[in-house]
Amino acid sequence: MSDTRIVAAGFGYLEAPRWHGGRLWMSDIQKRQVICVDLDGCATVAVGVPRRPCGLGFTPDSDLLIVSLEDQRLLRLADGMLHEVATLKGVAICSLNDVAVDAAGRAFALAHGDNLHIVMDRPANKRVLLTGHMDTVFPADHPFQALRWLAEGVLNGPGVADMKGGIAVMLWALRCFEASPFAPQLGWEVILNSDEEVSSLGSGPLLAETARRCQIGLTFEPSSLPDGTLAGARKGSGNFAAAVAGKAAHAGRNPEEGRNAIIAAADLALRLDALKGPTLSVNVAKMDGGGPNNVVPDTAVLRWNMRPSSFEDQHRASHAIADAISAVAAAHDVSIQLSGSFARPPKPMDAHQRKLFDLVRACGLDLGLDIGWRDTGGVCDGNNLAAAGLAVVDTLGVRGGSIHSDQEYLLTASLVERARLSALILMRLAQGAWDGHGA
């Protein structure tokens, strides 16, 4: 494995990394500016964005597109000046966040919904961040909309485990804790976000900002297994799209003058797939583009997901993506615009994390529960909280299974079971059972 090194530092909260023109472009949401960094680590402020920049993209002629988060505008940087491309005031019901790329390579500003944030501010040495999400993977027009009993104590329905049940567990755990004599000794904050299932692209800054005030994270995703096993280490996750621009030509008269975007995208797909290994999974998921059989296709969009086991694997994957895109662009004489990022950092099981898991296990044993954990390739907001420095247990929600399918179920006996466990964890934390240092 190649060594990693810090090439640039001193930033606020970075989002929306894009590789373009031999430099890495990023939005610094906290400092309200877009920056770019070359391979030598030279960082330059490209432009200031007063209402907070977020998603980034590039036009075919390499002008920078910027989502202005707070005032719901899409901006274009041209000739050193910011110009408004579009505004969604009066249309979007919440802040704009990221930029998505469609099958034609066009950029669209996205809004990810509002979030619920509750603060119990106390003059205590410790503060806990409890998180959950309101969204499910099922759209409003999906046929899976009703609840039904599969058997006694087994409830089927959209989001019953992931994670309506977890929200109920969180609520009752807090009610029990607040009724205890230990409540004044522990501050807490709750975030219920609306975009966890799409990588928390809109709520990410809120999660990061809140995490800086806390030391411990409790997330109420469903248990990793129906027996109550928790998720331990988690891989990271990144979703990407590469928009390939070639050159159209007649397939019979002058095909040699064309530049086939489909062939270039296919070459990129094979190069990306070759990167996968024990510590990096790669799923090339979808390719769009092309047209009539007698036209050399000039557009294509390739989409893929990557899941690294460690920050070193993520760093290596980022460089490999950039190398593959450069090689394909040169080999096929096309231009390629990359969008997407590793929105979920890896979450290793280090000593810092293990100490909190040991506390949870001890609480479980006191309640007659034998709780274990296992590593998983799935991701959640726990990844982001751990990356912010918190010790996190992120599967304190209900026991159940078959999530993200119409067979999703909740074991209703686990509602009380997991609420008792979480309430006890909060009480032990308030009593000083965790000092924040790994063994």
Report helix, strand or coil for 128: strand
The answer on 229 and 244 residing in a single domain is: no
Same domain, 87 and 147: no
336 φ/ψ angles, rounded to the nearest 5 degrees: -135, 125
**Domain finish residue from 91, 111, 131:** 111
Same domain, 219 and 127: yes
Tokens of 329: 């662009």
> Token digits for 118?
């509750």
The residue to which tokens 């190649």 are assigned: 2
- Number of domains, the chain: 3
CATH code of the domain in which 263 resides: 3.30.70.360
Q: Are residues 245 and 219 in the same domain?
A: no
Residue 2 inside a domain? The answer is: no
Name which of 264, 230, 231, 431 is nearest 335 in CA terms: 264
Domain, as residue range, for 217: 116-235+346-430
What is the separation of C-alpha 163 from the centre of its chain, rounded to a whole number of angstroms?
17
User: Which are the contacts of 356, defined by CB distance < 8 A and separation ≥ 6?
Assistant: 216, 391, 392, 393, 434
Tens-of-pLDDT digits for all 439 residues of the chain?
456 678 888 887 788 888 888 889 999 887 889 999 998 889 999 999 988 898 888 887 788 999 888 788 889 998 888 999 888 776 665 667 777 666 566 767 677 778 999 999 998 889 999 999 999 999 888 999 999 999 999 999 999 999 999 999 999 999 999 999 999 999 999 999 999 998 888 888 889 999 999 999 999 999 999 999 999 999 999 999 999 999 999 999 999 999 999 999 999 999 999 999 999 999 999 999 988 999 999 999 999 999 999 999 999 999 999 999 999 999 999 999 888 889 899 999 999 999 999 999 999 999 999 999 999 999 999 999 999 999 999 999 999 999 999 999 999 999 999 999 999 999 999 999 987 654 3
Q: If you search the block for the tokens 């159209």, which residue do you land on?
A: 248
Q: What is the CATH number of the domain that holds 133?
A: 3.40.630.10
Question: Counting Cβ atoms within 10 Å, is residue 103 exposed (0-12), middle (13-18) or buried (19+)?
Answer: middle
Total number of residues shown for the chain: 439
- Tell me: do 92 and 75 sit in the same domain: yes
Q: Is residue 7 part of a domain?
A: no
Q: For residue 79, what is the domain's CATH number?
A: 2.120.10.30
Helices (H), 71-132: none
Amino acid in the structure at residue 245:
A
pTM across the whole model: 0.79
Sign for the CA dihedral angle at 395, 397, 403, 407 comes to positive
Secondary structure class of 406 (helix, strand, coil): coil
